[in-house]
């Protein structure tokens, strides 16, 4: 937020953000990530999580191994299209929470694998970067991931404030067997996150709040203070002591121990020379994306920098892009209407051409499945009941869900005279909230919907957002009215198996026709 005007709220497309970024080249790797499809998830169930810091694992002999922790979604990765994302936010601001809630209540529990990257100091010395630099990651091709556990979210909180809003995350709160590294940002967070929780929750006893309290037995000498919720007893609150034999004691063998390591050199407030390569991993990330994902990154940069008022900021960012990829800089300059490429900023570090890392792609990590997704089925008065039942069966057989959408929420009858159960009214249930759509209409109802913008947008947006579409004879009338040109993912309801197969992914080949500017 710019303090003199109070906006933009929750947005980066403005001068002060990009001014700061243009003067902070170490942010260029992060910029590639936040401009990529990674920041437009289809669902919170389809997000990878990984820490930026290296920690240590310490065995019983005191031997240490560096570790980076990762969460890998069992549902795979999937993103949305930018235009789709904007429309989802308008149609349903609670889309992600609703998706989470509906998945859990349906028994389709979100699940992640916990994986680790393990490496020694000797191996770290061979990396072409410093792993203690929080702007760097370790490619999976260099250090593979080892799965060690899993997390399953199998219930919804009974009270959101009590069970989520009061959660206190502190990197300093660890268990024996884990230790810190010398990552300077991590070292700063070990102090600052405690202050964060004191400010947020207002008490040094925030660890006693049920959602933060350990599930295993815990004993210490912390007493009283604001909002003390326990009832510690006894005369002493210190250790060692001779007055209370059963008082908590330090356990040097089984308790927390830091790894002993020799330290030499001068202490100073400096940035390590090993942190000075700000562009190589940004270049690696961009080069690792496929053409579609690269186009999306460029489009995002054009959108953001087009909102910047000061031309010198836009020029500075295009200059930085020249170190990442010359074609990226050229396409960005073209999108911004910059006729002559600005010079790249001076750097004393040689930018490396690191190996392409397929693990950094998103599209390749989409699972070939419709499970956990939702198909929207548009019907109206008189829709064919037999086709509708076949659609329901085909979607259910793929372990997906369906929702019936109609021009009105009640009183819609099918061809067999039964009243259909409607899940959403057309104007309030656009196709952006579904993964694929089916249109089952009579000729008469389709002709009535030809002039309905909500109906035309329902199919037009689905096509523009590269989704699979199934249609019957009446549905074809609506598709023609909306100007939909059929391709391999626009399929008759006579071929529902083909539709289900197409609905498992996006029709990426379609994008060059619906968004030629990319």
Cα 116 to Cα 49, 66, 72, 138, distances in angstroms: 12, 10, 10, 11
The share of the chain scoring above pLDDT 70, in percent, equals 100
How far apart (Å, rounded) are the C-alpha atoms in residues 110 and 44? 9
> Is 227 contained in some domain?
no
pLDDT score, position 230? 87
The model's pTM: 0.94
Exposed, middle or buried, 137 (CB in 10 Å: 0-12/13-18/19+)? buried
Q: What's the domain range around 59? A: 15-208
Is the Cβ–Cβ distance between 68 and 321 less than 8 Å? no
CA distances from 95 to 105, 406, 430 (A): 15, 20, 12
Give the residue from 451, 430, 438, 423 showing the smallest Cα distance to 492: 438
38 and 167 together in one domain: yes
Report the alpha-carbon distance of residue 513 to residue 454 in Å, rounded: 23
> Which 3-state string (H, E, C) describes 371-386?
CCCEEEEECCCCCCHH
What tens digit of pLDDT does each residue of 370-425 get? 999 999 999 999 999 999 999 999 999 999 999 999 999 999 999 999 999 999 99
CATH code for position 126: 2.40.180.10
Same structural domain, 438 and 374: yes
Helix (H) or strand (E) holding 220: none
Starting at the edge strand found earlier in the chain, the sheet holding 424-425 runs 424-425, 401-406, 374-378, 436-439, 469-471, 490-492
Whether residue 263 lies inside any domain: the answer is: no
Identify the CA nearest to 458 among candidates 476, 474, 434. 434
Exposure letters 107-122 (e unless 16+ CB within 10 A, then b): ebebebebbbbebeee
Total of domains in the chain: 3
Picking from 363, 391, 409, the residue at the C-terminal end of a domain is 363
Both 41 and 90 in a single domain? yes
Do 29 and 178 reside in the same domain of the chain?
A: yes
125 and 189 assigned to the same domain: yes
Q: What is the pLDDT of residue 211?
A: 93
- What integer pLDDT is reported at residue 421 of this predicted model? 97
Query: 140 and 68 in contact (C-beta within 8 Å)?
Result: no
pLDDT at 219: 84
Q: How many C-beta atoms surround the C-beta of residue 19 within 10 A? A: 16
Residue 348 has pLDDT above 90, yes or no: no
Do residues 110 and 100 lie in contact, with contact meaning Cβ atoms separated by under 8 Å? yes
Record the tokens describing residue 335, joined without a space: 């999108």
Are both 467 and 488 inside the same structural domain? yes
Residue 264 lies in a domain: no
Distance CA(76)–CA(175), nearest Å, equals: 30
CATH number at residue 425: 3.40.50.880
User: Do 115 and 72 form a contact (C-beta atoms < 8 A)?
Assistant: yes
Q: Is the residue at 63 inside a domain?
A: yes
Higher pLDDT, 267 or 149: 149
CB 288 within 8 A of CB 357: yes
Question: What would the two tokens of residue 130 be?
Answer: 């410093």
pLDDT at 152: 98
Say if residue 254's pLDDT is above 90: no
Q: Do residues 356 and 374 both lie within one domain?
A: no
Residue 143 covered by a domain: yes
Structure tokens at 170: 């502190």
For 291-308, write each residue's pLDDT tens digit. 999 999 999 999 999 999
User: What is the model's pLDDT at position 260?
Assistant: 85
The verdict on 193 and 335 lying in the same domain is no
If asked whether residues 54 and 158 sit together in one domain, one would say yes
What pLDDT score does 9 carry? 86
Q: Does the residue 93 lie in any domain?
A: yes
Residue 235 in domain: no
Do 424 and 493 belong to one domain? Answer: yes
pLDDT at position 258: 87
Residues 462 and 391: their CA atoms lie apart, in Å, by 18
CATH number at residue 295: 1.20.1370.20
CB contact at 8 A, 171 and 193? yes
Which residues are paired to 438 by β-bridges? 377, 470
Same domain, 345 and 426: no
Q: Which of 333, 363, 393 is the C-terminal boundary of a domain?
A: 363
| Beta-strand relationship, 111-119 and 64-73 | antiparallel
* Residue 203 included in any domain: yes
What's the rounded Cα separation, in Å, for the pair 210 and 201? 13
Do 390 and 315 lie in one domain? The reply is: no
Residue 341 CA: distances (Å) to CA of 29, 73, 315, 317, 333: 21, 41, 8, 11, 7
**Which range among 157-161, 256-260, 470-474 shows the weakest confidence by mean pLDDT?**
256-260
Per-residue pLDDT at 251 exceeds 90: no
């Amino acid at each position: 937020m710019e303090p003199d005007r109070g906006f933009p709220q929750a947005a980066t497309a403005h001068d002060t953000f990009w001014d700061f970024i243009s003067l902070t080249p170490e942010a260029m790797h992060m910029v590639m990530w936040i401009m990529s499809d990674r920041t437009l998830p289809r669902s919170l169930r389809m997000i990878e999580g990984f820490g930026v810091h290296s920690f240590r694992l310490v065995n019983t002999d005191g031997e240490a191994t560096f570790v980076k922790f990762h969460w890998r979604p069992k549902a795979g990765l999937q993103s949305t299209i930018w235009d789709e994302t904007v429309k989802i936010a308008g149609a349903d601001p609670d889309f992600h929470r609703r998706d989470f809630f509906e998945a859990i209540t349906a028994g389709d529990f979100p699940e992640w694998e916990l994986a680790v990257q393990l490496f020694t100091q000797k191996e770290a010395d061979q990396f072409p970067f410093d792993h203690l630099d929080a702007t760097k990651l370790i490619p999976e091709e260099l250090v593979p991931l080892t799965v060690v556990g899993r997390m399953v979210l199998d219930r919804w909180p009974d009270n959101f404030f009590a069970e989520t809003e009061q959660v206190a995350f502190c990197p300093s709160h660890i268990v024996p067997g884990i230790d810190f590294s010398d990552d300077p940002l991590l070292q700063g967070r070990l102090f600052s996150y405690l202050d964060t929780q004191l400010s947020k929750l207002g008490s040094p006893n925030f660890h006693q709040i049920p959602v933060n309290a350990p599930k295993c037995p815990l004993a210490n000498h912390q007493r009283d203070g604001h909002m003390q919720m326990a009832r510690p007893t006894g005369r002493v609150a210190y250790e060692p002591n001779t007055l209370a034999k059963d008082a908590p004691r330090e356990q040097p063998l089984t308790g927390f121990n830091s790894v002993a390591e020799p330290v030499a050199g001068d202490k100073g407030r400096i940035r390590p020379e090993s942190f000075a390569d700000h562009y190589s991993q940004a270049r690696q990330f961009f080069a690792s994306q496929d053409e579609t994902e690269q186009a999306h990154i460029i489009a995002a940069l054009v959108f953001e920098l087009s909102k910047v008022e000061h031309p010198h900021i836009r020029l500075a960012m295009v200059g930085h892009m020249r170190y990442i990829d010359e074609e990226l800089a050229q396409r960005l300059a073209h999108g911004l209407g910059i006729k002559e490429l600005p010079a790249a900023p001076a750097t004393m570090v040689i930018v490396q051409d690191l190996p392409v890392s397929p693990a950094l792609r998103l599209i390749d990590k989409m699972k070939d499945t419709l499970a956990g997704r939702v198909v929207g089925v548009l019907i109206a008065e008189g829709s064919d009941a037999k086709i509708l039942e076949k659609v329901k069966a085909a979607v259910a057989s793929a372990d997906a869900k369906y929702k019936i959408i109609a021009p009105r929420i009640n009183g819609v009858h099918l061809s067999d005279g039964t009243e259909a159960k409607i899940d959403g009214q057309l104007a309030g249930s656009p196709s952006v909230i579904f993964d694929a759509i089916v249109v089952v209409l009579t000729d008469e109802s389709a002709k009535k919907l030809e002039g309905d913008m909500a109906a035309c947008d329902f199919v037009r947006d689905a096509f523009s957002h590269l989704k699979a579409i199934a249609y019957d004879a009446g549905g074809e009338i609506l598709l023609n009215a909306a100007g939909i040109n059929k391709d391999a993912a626009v399929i008759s309801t006579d071929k529902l198996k083909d539709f289900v197969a197409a609905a498992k992914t996006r029709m990426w080949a379609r994008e060059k026709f619906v968004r030629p500017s990319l």
